[in-house]
Structure 1
Amino acid sequence: MITVRNVLQTKGTVVWQIGPRATAYDALELMAEKDIGALLVVDGEEIVGIFSERDYARKVILKGRSSKVTSVDELMSAPVFYTEPDKTIEACMALMTARRLRHLPVLEKGHILGMISIGDVVNALITEQKITISDLESYITGGYAYENT
């Protein structure tokens, strides 16, 4: 089974953050510069929310607010649901589906290790299924060339 740790080893562990009192405009600039869809909102050492493109679209644009004067803490999603590095991708998919989340921070003993997206989870599940199919095909045809542990 693929774990969150496996995904982070492939994806990397950089997590872009912003403070809660920054403007939505500042957050959008950083997201555009880094080509990402969400930022972790951190106040000191505490994770207080997640700010995403969805938050902006629904809470600024549709409500006629200004991104240059509206702070991130007025728009962010909270509380923050998170996962741990040894959780399976299937467990993350279940949490993300149940809570309608697109981004999930990864914490270990209170420290931020990374963040995964629904796209990361789907790609990992597809990879896992391809491996299973390949293993089954090898087993059926008798071409099992390695020991699968």
Structure 2
Amino acid sequence: MKVSDILRVKGSTLYTANPDELLSSAVALMAEKDIGSLVVMFHGDLVGMLTFREVIQLVVKNGGALGSTLVRTAMDDHPLTCTPETELDEVRRMMLERHARYMPVMNQKMLMGVISFYDVAKAVVDSQNFENKMLKAYIRDWPAGDEDKEG
């Protein structure tokens, strides 16, 4: 299974932030849309990721306040990315290695979407459930007497 399979099911709604906007505005958007991340774009290019992890770290550092902090101050400016053709096993490995919960999907320089660890886990569980269903159907429909021909 590839990342493109997840994007096809997930849809293409993307929420972005500008590195020079107030962090408080970005956090308000995340709260309003009930999302855990924003892709930070500047002149059409991916320049970072803002997740609740970066926001919490900055809030703690600032003694509980966002103040007039800009998105660029809090964002991860070297986010982990993948392509639509990346295999899910590779994405899982990458996300686990870097403790990343969100990953922008890039096709060259074009942002195609964002996948979350939840999206990856759901795809794996759905795939395993489908495989189990097929195996159970195969076993149930096993032709009588075929087990003798195997040996």
2:29 maps to: 30
1:134 maps to: 133
| 1:44-83 equivalences in 2 (<5 Å) | 44-64=43-63, 66-83=65-82
The alpha-carbon deviation at position 78 of structure 1 amounts to 2.3
Identity of aligned residues (%): 28
TM-score in terms of structure 2 length: 0.87
Deviations 1:36-85 (A, max 9, x none): 11001111122111011111111223441631311111111120211111
Deviations 1:78-125 (A, max 9, x none): 202111112222221111001110000111121111100010010001
Query: Which structure has the highest helix share of the two?
Result: 2
What stretches of structure 1 move > 3 A for 4+ residues in a row?
none
In the alignment, structure 2 segments of 5+ residues that lack a partner are 143-151
Q: Provide the secondary structure at the position in 1 that maps to 2:38.
A: strand
Q: What is the number of equivalent residue pairs in this alignment? A: 142
1:146 maps to: none
Q: Contact 2:82–2:106 at 8 Å: present in 1 too?
A: yes
In the alignment, structure 1 segments of 5+ residues that lack a partner are 144-149
Q: Contact 1:47–1:80 at 8 Å: present in 2 too?
A: no
Residue type at the aligned position of 2:85: D
1:12 maps to: 11
1:41 maps to: 40
Q: Provide the secondary structure at the position in 1 that maps to 2:67.
A: coil
TM-score in terms of structure 1 length: 0.88
Q: Contact 2:16–2:39 at 8 Å: present in 1 too?
A: yes
